[in-house]
Structure 1
Amino acid sequence: MKISINRLKKYIALTESPDEIADLLTQSGLEVEGIEEFISIPGGLEGIVIGEVLTCEKHPDADKLSLTTVDIGAGEPSQIVCGAPNVAAGQKVLVATVGATLYPTGGDSFTIKKAKIRGQVSEGMICAEDELGIGTSHDGIMVLDTDLPTGTPASELIPVTHDHVLEIGLTPNRADAASHLGVARDLKALLGRPLCIDKVSDLTLEGDRKELEISVADAADCPRYAGVVVSDLKVAPSPQWLQDFLRALDLEPINNVVDITNFILHDLGQPLHAFDADKIAGGKIIVKKLPKDSKFITLDEKERKLSGEELMICDAEGGMCIGGIFGGKGSGVSDHTTSIFLESAYFSPDVIRKGAQYHGLKTDASFRFERGTDPNMPVYALKKAVELLQEIAGGKVSSEMVDLYPNPIADFEIDVEYGHINRLIGKKIEPNQVKSILEGLDIRVENETEEGFKAIVKPYRVDVIREADIIEEILRIYGFQQVELSENLKTDYLAEHPVKDLNKLQYRLSEILGAQGYQEMITNSLTKPVYAEKSGFLDSNLNVEIYNKLSEDLGVMRQSLLFTGLEVLAHNINRRQSDLKFFEFGTVYQKTEAGYQEGRRLAIFHSGNRSAESWLEPARPFGFADLYATIERLLDKLNLQISNSEMLESAPFEYGLRLMLGQKELGTLGLVKDSLLKMTEVRQEVWYADLDWDLLCKKASGLKQYAEISKFPEVRRDLSLVIDKAVSYAKVKEVAEKAGGKLLRRIGVFDVYQGDKIDAGKKAYALSFHLQDQEKTLTDKVIDKTMHKLMEAFQNEVGAVIRS
């Protein structure tokens, strides 16, 4: 669920930063999963100014270009080459200055540079609508009618909306918070500040009367049904403020009537539905159930068979809408609509939930109705919507407002004891503070005694029906962090489940490695002192020396599994066994200030060819990817994942990687230096991985996580990036996962290039991005928007150049 901070500020005075607001909400149970900045015009028109064309002459070397001088309020006029046919001296225009970045409609962003165009210097760009991202017109440059002086920022002429949008992971119980008003209510309680809620006036008849006969046949499933006819409407695009609000929430504006209903839904949490009044047969609205297997065509032009259990909004001839879920094709608002019946209702959550599940329809309206909306909101929301229709679409009220509410839903009454509050929270909270918190949440306190009180809860809080729920409300506003831990709190009685058997874990990985063609080796823990002295990465001062050594070659305990492993490789290579895959679980030793320490390691060796030559293909030597893939397979079996990696170009490797698990180093892998191979007389390349076996044992989890396979297709898009060699793939992947969000399922690399076709110090990655939505089929628009976010993130965060 997305929440605009600009809109929240209409309800409550907020001086806190978006991050501070997010922390407050998260601590109170509305977990903020992310914060996005929204700018109504990409780039915010930064670097765009008002200019005046002083002179305009034909370009000496190009028939379709003009050579202009433009006053941009910066002293000397700027010379600009312009290709627009309508440019002329005396015009006020919008100029992108050198260094400004443009975000054209439907195109890639680019930065304005001082350049020569057909031999003439150009110091900027005179812009058209589509080049600024504020429209689609490319017939010519924008010619302004303004008295603003030259050099004035374009944002003073064309308003730019800046907003921050919170992505809230709403839990199913918090239906009351599925709106801006709902979130503002929580902030009111958290900050102790009043809410500012607009007052609405009673509706007054203005136009020709168009009364409809309205009836509810099933009051149990539709306890409240309200509506009114609004005529003389002019369906048109919404004003900019409304379009900006919807776009900030990732909603596409449609027209002023539909946009107003979407605004009310997200602002107040009350779904509305607009019917074309001229298409309502017989002048009747009937809320009832239709027989099973009745056919109904919904707005998406699909014919559906009804179950007989869903609530239908009908006219004299049949169904017009699946109530609270989805509209029908024949009764919706179109560009030709001039009169609507606007519905505002409270439906039973059960009937909406069953209907939505039966038809596989999940809409913004059903999301709220099936969790429980506010039965006291329909009339207020209806009046608010009518005010907007009058203001934005020129509508006139043409009927009396109908409000069928035969059995009003009562407030919840809950008995609460102070003793129970203090016991469940684990801390005594003074009665006055309890009352203050509850009043901030619009929960009245009545019949108070020393022992407790009666809490009166409004029905929009569908999750607060028991004493424990009241106590939970008190705690989340009071703050979990304010409940101190007891000095006597102990956890040593808790056992780890299941208990890890480290021998079984080692045996399990040995089997996995054996199945991949590895041979296990067990080498001597005693080794040569010279290895540490000449290695370049071990400290000989830390050698654990043997007092009664049998020989100098077995004089110290090993600090690494590398050299004893290389000795085994040399032994095999000297006997014409050159294609080798070995692993070893072993212990390493070092001296410390306190005495001695030992640690267990897992070493993996590759040398020679991965596959022998045959008539199908030539021999293929082992490479970095083979070793890395083995490590990934092992980690997958332990339900672990590498959190980060960084390049290594130091002993014992010619080049390699350092791998991290969380904040701790897992180990290293890479190509062993030639100088170290010569020490053990190994005469071919060796790939080596050194992993912290103690850390793996500690972090290993037996719990495998599974997810439901999506019913919707996956989409692949490819990008080619040119980046600095210093930028790791891990960084590229991190940027992609952050920008791609929930739609990005996985990333692949299918080509890497470094050579003379790109600049020195650069490399090119060819990446595949696999996108998928768990709830619906992806549209081209959503895919393009996601890929645009990815490209922007690569350009801004790793300095990538996108290759076309």
Structure 2
Amino acid sequence: KTARRHGLNTDSSFRFERGVDPNNTLYVLRLAALMVKELAGGEICGPLTDVYPSVIEPSRVDLRFDYLNSLVGKEIPAETVVSILKSLEMNLLEVTDKEVKMEVPTYRVDVTRPCDVVEDVLRIYGYNNVEISDSVRSALSSQTFEDRDNALRNLISEQLCAEGFNEILNNSLTAESYYNELPGYPADHCVKLLNPLSNDLSVMRQTLLFGGLESLSHNINRKMADLRMFEFGNVYFFNPAAESTADRVLAPYSESSRLALWMTGALRPGNWARKEEEATVYDLKAVVANIFARLGINPAEIRLSAGTSGLYAAGLDIATRSGKVLGTLGILSKKIAASMDIKQQVVYCELDWHALVNLSIRKKVSYSPLARTMPVKRDLALLLDKSVSMEQVEATVRESERRLLKDVSLFDVYEGKNLPEGKKSYAIAITLQDDEKTLQDKQIEAVMNKVITNLTKKLGAELR
């Protein structure tokens, strides 16, 4: 710690940080005194004084031969193992057919467990003397959560790459200064390192945001301003309110997997035929919708609401209908972007990857023939309070009709003159379809009347 604090890396610090033998002190003192006497004309004028209140005893290790053979992957004769241990200056206390009990010299500070002894034995025996089997024994029929997780990661990675994104991989260690006064991610919730390499790598990240912003800033400063990036990575949290016990030492700590996406600059470059198109939050929202569709998650299960995260100038919270939080999406705050030397607009999304995987693996894919009937579309122009969101409108429509309703979409929004104060106009398209038979006018009219009635009662909507 002292060497790092002062920036002085010496031969002494190199050796001490790797551990030295505490019981070697008297020998070293005598040698130093003799060298001073011989080389510098000094005089030894008194006896040695050694204050050593807590004597460090040699580590006791019991090594089973079957454990060694299972870890190495080869049966090494017990005689060979014993011979190697003696050559390593291990003090063998007892040797039986099944195990060997030993004391490890105090200068071997890195050997405290049976696996450490196995590593030492294998180092002398020779890694190249352990043959690699030409057969593989495994069960290929069962799939774990990790198997499904990796398969879905590859699936989504391929889709994002096909949409023009580049995958990035950032360090899980980051600067604590990023979380000073950051809304939603307090600095006291960071997992701090006991012995950090530097102040820029002193805590574990709570969000993937800043690693991506560092990558964006690096590229923008090198004239690569049109960027689309994504990253799969883990985030880490410390809960100061949770108390650790002997049985649950890691109770205050938690880890979660995330998928993050960044877009900035031009979505499509301009040319003689069309103008340049800047990447917007709606483009990112469409990318997220494609991810949900590829994972088999029904849009009707997803609820979007006004964002509460302080990361965004304008954002959305993404959750399931049951209230399970899936992530956030929005236009990144200019203050945060400017702190990373980014002057252009950045849109950002961070999703809880494990929550998405859990939703996806519960879905059973089923196939059905194409409908033999034609869908029916009806448009409604609604006058609503400005506080009413499209998410509320869509939820009300879906609650009104579950069997025949196929889709609800917004195709026009108007606010301005000729409308009452505090009002806005939404034009929505409703698609109805019966897969078995053609819908009759009476059925369509009944569904639309029910939709209009519920919109009027629950949201105070008026038909224009």
Q: TM-score, normalised by structure 1?
A: 0.37
2:157 partner SS: helix
Match of residue 687 from structure 1: 347
Q: Which of residues 332, 335, 349 is equivalent to 1:672?
A: 332
Aligned counterpart for 1:596 among listed residues 230, 246, 253:
253
- Output the CA distance in 1 between the equivalents of 2:181 and 2:187: 9
2:315 match? 656
Aligned residue type for 1:714: P
How much has 1:710 moved relative to structure 2?
A: 2.0
Q: In the alignment, is the contact (CA less than 8 A) between 1:543 and 1:558 conserved in 2?
A: yes
Q: Which whole-Å deviations, capped at 9, do the CAs of 1:113-156 have from their partners, x for residues lacking one?
A: xxxxxxxxxxxxxxxxxxxxxxxxxxxxxxxxxxxxxxxxxxxx
1:541 aligns with 2:198: no
Question: Deviation of residue 550 (structure 1)?
Answer: 2.2
Mark the CA change 1:650 to 1:710 in structure 2 (over 3 Å): closer, same or farther.
same
Deviation at 1:781, TM superposition (A): 2.9
User: Using the alignment, how far apart are the partners of 1:611 and 1:762 within structure 2?
Assistant: 35
1:726 aligns with 2:387: yes
SS of equivalent residue, structure 1 residue 763:
strand
Q: Please state whether the residue corresponding to 2:180 is helix, strand or coil.
A: helix
Match of 1:306 in 2: none
Question: Cα deviation per residue 1:768-792 (whole Å; 9 max; x = unaligned)?
Answer: 1112222322233332232222211
Partner in structure 2 of residue 758 of structure 1: 419
Q: Does the Cα contact within 8 Å between 2:168 and 2:230 map onto a contact in 1? A: yes
Aligned position for 1:350 = none
Question: For the Cα contact (< 8 Å) 1:715–1:772, is it kept in 2?
Answer: yes
Shift of 1:760: 4.2
Offset of 1:668 from its aligned partner? 0.7
Report if aligned partners of 1:546, 1:556 keep a CA contact under 8 Å in 2. Answer: yes
Say whether the 8 Å CA contact 2:383–2:461 is kept in structure 1. yes
CA, structure 1 residues 741+599, in 2 after alignment: closer, same or farther (shift >3 Å)? closer
Quote how far apart the aligned CAs of 1:499 are. 4.1
- Compute the displacement of 1:590 (Å): 1.5
State the shift of 1:639 in Å: 1.4
Q: Is the 8 A contact 1:645 1:660 kept in 2?
A: yes
CA contact (8 A) 1:535 1:676 kept: no
1-structure distance, mates of 2:291, 2:354: 15
Aligned-pair distance for 1:746? 1.2
More helix by share: 2
Q: 1:653 Cα shift? A: 0.9
Query: For residue 222 of structure 2, what is the aligned residue in structure 1?
Result: 575
For the 8 Å contact 1:712–1:774, the answer to whether it is kept is yes
Cα offset, 1:628, TM superposition: 1.4
Residue 516 of structure 1 is matched in structure 2 by: 163
Letter in 2 for 1:646: S
Corresponding residue for 2:204?
Answer: 557
1:692 aligned partner, one-letter code: D
Counterpart pick for 1:786 among 424, 447, 458: 447
Q: What residue identity is the alignment partner of 2:175?
A: K
| Partners of 1:538 and 1:741 in 2: CA distance | 39
Q: Deviations 1:540-598 (Å, cap 9, x if unpaired)?
A: 11112222222212221111111111111111111111111110011111213234221
Identical amino acids, percent of aligned pairs: 36
Instruction: Name the larger-Rg structure.
Output: 1
Distance 1:675 1:728 in 2: 27
Tell me if 1:744 matches 2:405: yes
Normalising by structure 2, what TM-score?
A: 0.63
Letter in 2 for 1:708: P
The verdict on how the C-alpha distance between 1:783 and 1:497 changes in structure 2, with shifts beyond 3 A counting, is farther
Q: Could you list the per-position Cα deviations for residues 243-266 of structure 1 after superposition, in whole angstroms to 9, with x for gaps in the alignment?
A: xxxxxxxxxxxxxxxxxxxxxxxx
- 1:531 is matched with 178
The alpha-carbon deviation at position 602 of structure 1 amounts to: 0.6
Deviations 1:251-289 (A, max 9, x none): xxxxxxxxxxxxxxxxxxxxxxxxxxxxxxxxxxxxxxx
The one-letter code sitting in structure 2 at the alignment partner of 1:725 is K
Q: Which of 697, 712, 724 is equivalent to 2:373?
A: 712
Contact between 1:581 and 1:604, CA under 8 Å: does it hold in 2?
Answer: yes
Give the Å deviation of 1:736: 0.8
Confirm or deny: 8 A CA contact 2:308 2:317 kept in the other structure. no
Q: Distance in 1 between matches of 2:431 and 2:143?
A: 36
Give the match's secondary structure for 1:567.
Answer: helix
1:754 to partner: Cα distance? 2.9
Do the aligned partners of residues 635 and 497 (structure 1) sit closer, same or farther apart at CA in structure 2, a change above 3 Å counting? farther
Amino acid across the alignment from 2:286: A
Q: Which amino acid aligns with 2:360?
A: A
State the distance in 1 between where 2:457 and 2:430 align.
Answer: 19
Q: 2:268: which partner in 1? A: 611
In structure 2, do the counterparts of structure 1 residues 796 and 709 end up closer, same or farther at CA, with 3 Å as the change threshold? same
Counterpart mapping for 1:378-417 below 5 A: none
Q: CA deviation at 1:692?
A: 0.6
2:175, 2:414 → 1: CA distance? 42
The two structures, once aligned, show a CA RMSD in angstroms of 2.0
Give the direction of change, closer, same or farther, for the CA distance of 1:503–1:623 in structure 2 (3 Å limit). Answer: same
| Structure 1 residues 624 and 503, CA gap change in structure 2 (3 angstroms) | same
Separation in 1 of the partners of 2:451 and 2:175?
52
Match for 2:360 among 687, 700, 705?
A: 700
Q: Give 1:758 deviation, angstroms.
A: 2.8
Name the structure 1 match of 2:76: none
In 2, Cα distance between equivalents of 1:639 and 1:650 = 27
- The aligned residue for residue 296 of structure 2 is 639
Kept in 1: contact 2:385–2:422 (CA 8 A):
yes
Contact 1:672–1:686 at 8 Å: present in 2 too? yes
SS of residue paired to 1:755? coil
**What is the Cα deviation at residue 498 of structure 1?**
5.5
Counterpart in the other structure of 1:506: 153
Q: Structure 2 regions of 5+ residues with no counterpart? A: 1-140, 243-250
Decide whether the 8 Å contact of 1:649 with 1:655 is kept in 2: no
Residues 703-728 of structure 1, C-alpha deviation per residue, up to 9 Å, x if partnerless?
Answer: 32333322122211111112223222
- Measure, in 1, the Cα distance between the counterparts of 2:420 and 2:283: 29
Sort the Cα spacing of 1:782 and 1:505 in 2 relative to 1 into closer, same or farther, 3 A.
closer
Deviation per residue, 1:377-397 (Å, 9 max, x gap): xxxxxxxxxxxxxxxxxxxxx
- The alignment partner of 2:267 has SS state of strand
Deviation at 1:694, TM superposition (A): 1.6
CA 1:772–1:541 in structure 2 vs 1: closer, same or farther (change >3 Å)? same
Distance apart, 1:650 and its partner CA: 4.0
Aligned-residue offset at 1:676: 0.8
Confirm or deny that 1:628 pairs with 2:285.
yes
| Residue 801 of structure 1 pairs with residue 462 of structure 2 | yes
Deviations 1:288-316 (A, max 9, x none): xxxxxxxxxxxxxxxxxxxxxxxxxxxxx
Q: Distance in 2 between matches of 1:596 and 1:704?
A: 36
Shift of 1:497: 7.3
Q: How many residues align?
A: 308
Check conservation: 1:645, 1:658, Cα contact below 8 A. yes
Equivalent runs, 1:148-297 vs 2, <5 Å: none
